[in-house]
Homo-oligomer: A and B are copies of this chain.
């Protein structure tokens, strides 16, 4: 009679449906389907799972070329709020703030890292597709 873990997991899966606009998971999916979220997770997560490390604000800012301070701060705060990363303030002079992925953030990094990998791996194919598509219909 005791519910198995598999049954509990199936139950949890059935609870949320990201296709429904009103479902909380839909809003969560919208949030993580964001270019800055993906890039920040890729930065903090490193190339391999064990390469994750804490980074300073300026370090992230430098790595993610093109990000504005506003979007970086805003996105970091949102990720902290959701428990995907921790923000640590060290009162040195000048002040030091580091960001580090939580276990939950690391689990999501498995996926976002895949996105980055996919983009880099299939870039040539996509470029070829675009050319073919443009040639086909001008």
A29 in contact (CB, < 8 A):
yes
The reply to whether A21 and B65 form a contact with Cβ atoms under 8 Å apart is: yes
A115 surroundings in chain B (CB, below 8 A): 29, 32-33, 111
A43 surroundings in chain B (CB, below 8 A): 19
Residue of B nearest to A9 (CB): B121
A122 in contact (CB, < 8 A):
yes
A38 in contact (CB, < 8 A):
yes
The reply to whether B126 and A12 form a contact with Cβ atoms under 8 Å apart is: no
Task: Report Cα–Cα, A9/B117, bound state, in Å.
Answer: 12
A116 surroundings in chain B (CB, below 8 A): 18, 25, 29
Task: Report Cα–Cα, A128/B102, bound state, in Å.
Answer: 14
Least CB distance, A18 to chain B, in whole angstroms = 5
Which of B16, B21, B112, B122 contacts A120, CB < 8 Å?
B16
Interface positions of A (Cβ within 8 A of B): 9, 12-13, 15-22, 24-26, 28-30, 32-35, 37-39, 42-43, 63-66, 80-83, 104, 107-108, 111-112, 114-130, 132-133
